[in-house]
Amino acid sequence: MCISCLIIDDEPLAINVIKNYLKQIENFEIINSFNNAIDGLNFLKSNDVDVIFLDINMPVLDGINFIKSLEKPPLLIITSAYDEFAIETYELDVLDYLVKPIEFPRFMKALNKVEKRLNATNKIPLENTKDHPYIFVKIDKKKMKKIFLDEILVIESLKDYLKINTLTGRYIVHSTLTDFTNLLPPRDFIRIHRSYTVAIDKIDAVEGNSVEIEGIRYVIGRSYLEDIKQKILNSSI
């Protein structure tokens, strides 16, 4: 996955800083840069981008009115020398707000948000083939891995990442458990804990407040117990 970036800032030095930062990250591509919002707006009429790095104080058209003029804005990261516009821009659904001078670690944190949002929305496609459905997941910066749904055992939350345990291997994916679970067919997978989603047909046993899969027990969270009973226990013979 290559993430396309547009930079709009009336300060050449600020543009160069962002360009230099982005060039160090493999999967981010600079599509174009402009020193005014008007040119940026015209560019977007015929070009799509994933994220815009946008200054606020610019002549003719400022950053806030630029955002308001977009019918379907991409992800937006504000890059401003002033923090006083933060509340107003967050109300416009910006992803992050970076105050100049921008340090590289803080910049990287913003890029992580971009990747997380894109992965959660449309960068993990589910394929609905009748015979053998599968899902593609990004397991490193350049590699997308096909995982067949009927091979998934347990999906475990690791804060901003997931560990997907399958019959053939384990994979680390940058996503949240809620977002990933929502991509899966609910008839086949069930959330049993804030940290676990499991494949229903891979559950070998249910005992008390836990399920057993491949010899490993996973605790069922209190708020999930009723759903587990209705979906698993009530369907037993």
What does DSSP assign to residue 1? -
Domains of the chain, with CATH numbers?
A: 3-121 (3.40.50.2300), 126-235 (2.40.50.1020)
- Say which residue the tokens 């020193």 belong to: 35
pLDDT given for residue 123 in this prediction = 43
pLDDT given for residue 130 in this prediction = 54
Q: Are 138 and 173 in contact (CB under 8 A)?
A: yes
Q: Considering the entire predicted model, what is its pTM?
A: 0.53
User: What is the spatial distance between Cα 190 and Cα 231, in angstroms, rounded to a whole number?
Assistant: 9
pLDDT given for residue 47 in this prediction = 92
User: What is the spatial distance between Cα 110 and Cα 76, in angstroms, rounded to a whole number?
Assistant: 10
User: What is the spatial distance between Cα 195 and Cα 163, in angstroms, rounded to a whole number?
Assistant: 10
Q: Strands (DSSP E) along 119-160, which ranges?
A: 126-127, 134-138, 144-148, 152-158
- Say which residue the tokens 């676990």 belong to: 196
pLDDT tens digits in sequence order for the chain, 237 residues long:
588 999 999 999 999 999 999 998 878 999 999 999 999 999 999 999 999 999 999 989 999 999 999 988 899 999 999 887 777 777 788 889 999 999 999 999 899 888 877 775 544 455 555 567 888 888 766 678 888 899 999 999 987 789 999 988 888 888 889 888 988 888 899 999 999 999 999 998 888 889 999 889 999 998 888 888 777 766 555
